[in-house]
């Protein structure tokens, strides 16, 4: 385990042909998932998928993200009228599920959104930390794993009902499913149905869960730090009454707030690689078959890099730049999270909408602390908030 930036850089710069992901990733997301593959197949997949989750492709989805966020935030008005307390982590999970549904499958003709949410939520709820951390329990004889595989089969059938009509019609659509269907490898071949299912499973579980947790933490720290919230609101208000979604996503202080949220409360606390041959790390050697693990939490709490590491101070990201081995909330190297740009855009749009349009307050004075959820860490008490009402400036 390393937490020094230089040693982390060595892990991420090592020859990917000799570093494998943990077996659990293929077990959970499927053998064709980009999270679980390695070697030439992984390289081939990354070359195909990387351009489809960056630049103009992500920009094209910003409006869809914005609409999904606005529709879900309408629930705040009901909560304010009834005096309800909202568990922000649960609310954020519902919001990011809406975003995933609309950006991934929204172009599907006749998409039954209520039925789709049920399929997705059953799959998410079936993911138990018990079998995530115990390979022996990922067995048909273990009831929770058996239930999870049944729900995964339901998900696969549901995806097939969306894929088949598009393949037959030739109208692929401009959502993420359409991107995957139109993508072709260098040899001209396209993704098979099995691979598309596994990549969508990866997007759903890895992208949805992590973004939801980060959003909940972002709201928590803004409410804990009123001066930060005030500065963020001032920046957003400076764009005028009806800012464009691209302009919002580019705001520098908003970006710094998101970076500081991901730093102070890392959703994924470590990045592990299985060494297929001995790996040299500084003066040490990791034997073949052992793990080389980057302790992301420890690195992001390094007070030499981040003075006063438990202080929520977004401006640190405006005062200096951090390289890829110093700040790595999305991992690093050839396996860095494919959806990082999408996740940051979603966080920017959602956090800006909440901060600029609604007055919230924490419903409890007890500080939140991070606890293990499954693969991720999240707030123990789910960030309980009370919706005071709409901001006066946006009535």
Task: Give the DSSP letter string of 89-113.
Answer: HHHHHHHHHHHHHHHHHTTSTT--H
- pLDDT for 139: 96
Angle between helices 340-357 and 226-237 (to 10 degrees): 100
- Spell out the CATH class of 5-207+266-343: mainly alpha
Q: What is the pLDDT of residue 394?
A: 53
> Percent helix, strand and coil across the chain, each rounded to 5?
55, 10, 30
Distance, in Å, from the CA atom of 311 to the CA atom of 314, rounded to the nearest integer, reads 9
pLDDT-derived band at 395 (thresholds 50, 70, 90) equals: very low
Alpha helices in 265-387 (DSSP H): 296-300, 316-319, 340-357
41 contacts: CB under 8 Å, gap ≥ 6: none
Confidence of residue 240 (pLDDT cuts 50, 70, 90): very high
In the prediction, which pLDDT does 207 show?
77
What pLDDT, on a 0 to 100 scale, did the predictor assign at position 192?
93
Instruction: Note the pLDDT tens digit of each residue in 148-163.
Output: 999 999 999 999 999 9
Supply the pLDDT for residue 288: 95
Span 171-194, average pLDDT: 93
CA distance 308 to 299: 13
CA distance 364 to 382: 11
Q: Tell me the longest C-alpha to C-alpha distance in the chain.
A: 62
Q: Which residues contact 362 (CB under 8 A, 6 or more apart)?
A: 220, 223, 224, 383, 384, 385, 386
pLDDT-derived band of residue 206, with 50, 70 and 90 as boundaries?
Answer: confident
Domain boundaries, the chain: 5-207+266-343
């Amino acid at each position: 385990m390393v937490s020094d930036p230089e040693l982390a850089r060595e892990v991420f710069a090592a020859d990917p042909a000799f570093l494998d992901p943990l077996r659990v990733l293929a077990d959970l997301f499927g053998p064709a998932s980009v999270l679980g593959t390695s070697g030439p197949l992984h390289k081939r997949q990354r070359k195909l998928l990387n351009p489809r989750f960056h630049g103009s492709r992500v920009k094209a989805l910003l409006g869809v993200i914005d609409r999904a966020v606005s529709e879900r935030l309408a629930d705040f008005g009901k909560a304010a009228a009834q005096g309800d307390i909202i568990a922000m982590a649960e609310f954020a999970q519902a919001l990011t599920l809406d975003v995933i549904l609309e950006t991934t499958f929204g172009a599907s003709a006749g998409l039954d959104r209520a039925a789709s949410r049920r399929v997705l939520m059953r799959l998410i709820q079936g993911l138990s930390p018990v079998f995530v951390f115990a390979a022996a329990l990922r067995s048909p004889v273990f009831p929770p794993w058996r239930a999870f595989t049944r729900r995964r089969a339901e998900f696969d059938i549901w995806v097939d009902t969306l894929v088949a009509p598009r393949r037959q019609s030739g109208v692929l659509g401009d959502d993420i499913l359409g991107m995957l269907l139109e993508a072709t490898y260098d040899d001209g071949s396209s993704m098979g149905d099995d691979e598309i299912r596994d990549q969508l499973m990866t997007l759903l579980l890895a992208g949805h869960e992590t973004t939801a947790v980060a959003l909940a933490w972002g709201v928590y720290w803004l409410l804990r730090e009123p001066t930060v919230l005030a500065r963020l609101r001032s920046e957003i208000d400076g764009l005028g009454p009806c800012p464009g979604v691209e302009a919002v996503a580019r705001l520098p202080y908003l970006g710094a707030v998101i970076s500081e949220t991901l730093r102070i409360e890392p959703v994924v606390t470590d990045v592990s690689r299985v060494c297929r041959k001995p790996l040299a790390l500084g003066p040490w050697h990791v034997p073949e078959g052992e793990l080389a693990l980057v302790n992301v939490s420890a690195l992001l709490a390094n007070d030499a890099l981040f003075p006063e590491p438990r202080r929520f101070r977004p401006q640190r990201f405006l005062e200096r730049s951090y390289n890829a081995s110093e700040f790595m909330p999305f991992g690093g190297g050839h396996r860095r999270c494919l959806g990082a740009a999408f996740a940051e855009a979603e966080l920017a749009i959602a956090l800006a909408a909440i901060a600029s349009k609604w007055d919230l307050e924490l419903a409890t004075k007890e500080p939140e602390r991070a606890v293990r959820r499954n693969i991720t860490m999240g707030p123990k008490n789910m960030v309980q908030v009370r919706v005071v009402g709409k901001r006066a400036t946006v009535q």
